[in-house]
Chain A
Amino acid sequence: MKKPKVRNGKILFSEYTLGEGVRKALTLSREDILFEIKDSKLKGRGGAGFPVSTKWMLGAAAIAERKYIICNADEGEPGTFKDRVLLVEYPELVFEGMVIAGYAIGAKFGILYLRGEYEYIRKSLQDFLELMRKENLLGKNILGKEGFDFDIKIHLGSSAYVCGEETALIESLEGHRGEARNRPPYPVNTGFRGMPTSVNNVETLSCVPHIILNGGNWFKNFGTEKSTGTKLFSISGDCEKPDVYEWEWGITIAEMLEKVGAKNTKAVQIGGASGICIPKSQFNRKIAYEDIPTGGSIIIFDKNRDMLKILKNFMEFFVEESCGQCTPCRIGNTKLLEGVKMIENEKYTFAYLDKLKDLGKTMQIASKCGLGQSSPNSFISILENFKDEIFYHENGDANGK
């Protein structure tokens, strides 16, 4: 296990004492919590950005004999590792967020779906749950609150990127292949075992105890109009200080690059393999729902990198990770990878590449889940933004190498 580092941040990486959030939450009514979250305008941090209050209010309104809170700790996006840091260094935030969600929605059961690659964290998480049970932050009549029972168990995945999609994750929990379901019905009505289920990202849940303690209005002090609060960024690639950072929404790419000591940067991949690749000319753009939204994966490429090789790496990833149940994604990704190889071997025509870009757009519309809807992003954005490098060898025949 890694030694905890000293981190600094305005919300998630600020001071916090175990139990504070739940203690405060239990003095409030369920409605108060939902309105506080609504006030904060907190959006899902996994990448999709769905308003948390909407999800929770639907969950709270649902009438069922059982309800579930699922924490999605299946971060598989290339270049993302923020949830690992939260789970290792701030488990109290994650679990207390789940307890508060359970209280607000009226659920008694919490499940943390931990990705198979993070099996080595499972033991410390289980120990932490045990500690919380001792402190009566989990179990029956939590902190003396009559009738509020909640407990959490950990379910381990077995390595499948697509299980980060909430309905695929539920399929996996039920012991099936992790294939996305048709939506609607949404999990918030018909989720795990057909019961109302709220699936939230690790980082989203970690924001909740702080919002409850300090109020939704305080949370809105950070970030921008439509993107409130802070965001964790997983920074990797060509820079001096790759790590997880907490910054306010609205930070520009240029500011980010300076903070992490990135030099001679040619391009930045925002949102991992399923995100978009931004060239130097657009480094003044902001990271926010108003401009470039993201789940927080930032991969930096300096001037020596070959963009076509990067694209090939991404497309190979999607070909392997596509679950294969819907045709646009299964065949589409294979065709896009084929296209990349054609460019590599100089066996392409521009007419055919245009067709592939159209295919990409079809995939974005016609794929069943987020995987196929977002996998053409890097293909389209890299071929568009770096066409000079890829097709005209502007750096000379050796392609800058």
Chain B
Amino acid sequence: MSRYDRLLELSTFSKEKLELLSKKRILLVGVGGVGQYVATCLVTNGIQHLVIVDYDKVELSNLNRQILLKEEDVGKLKSDVVLAELIKKNSEIEIYARNMKVTAENADSMVEKIDLIIDAVDNWPTKLVLGDLAKKHNIPLLHIGVDGNRGQYCLFKEKSLSDVFDNSIKKEPRDGVMGPMVGTVASLASMYLINYLVGDAPSDVLYYFDAKENKLGQMKI
């Protein structure tokens, strides 16, 4: 019995696709609400090499949506806690954690031998840094954003993040967030990403979800 038995039973999946996933080296920046869902999906569904980056410490207010955290983790480095939990999910793969705040000055140091970057950070300035980083190194970037009742994700390959999102974005009006909303958007983005990595989904499409309107949509960029 293999941990991937149920995945391999999926009619649209195959051993060849699992092999493709095993060769991808993923950099995930931000392991908060979105990042923890995405990381969990990836390490349990075929990704064999993942680097996670975060600099926050765990706060009690994180626990409504950040599924890998527990009360006893409050005050600990999030990257350490998430790494330990991911290893419990899959101890047979390579997972690394870096406790650092990404800036324009240090971003280049993160992308050696990386095939794809995931932006799961919670602020536009860092998202724009990751957009520039991906463009500079010609690495695909999966952007994910969620807040309130809305969220969106887009894998930039031919286009770049700054082609779509205005550089003057500093901070949009923030709302609260319900745990399942984060999980919904992160799960949709994770499913899309796995399909993209095995060649079953297109790049450069912005997908959006409005929970209040119960509306899913997409636009080609």
Binding between chains A and B: no
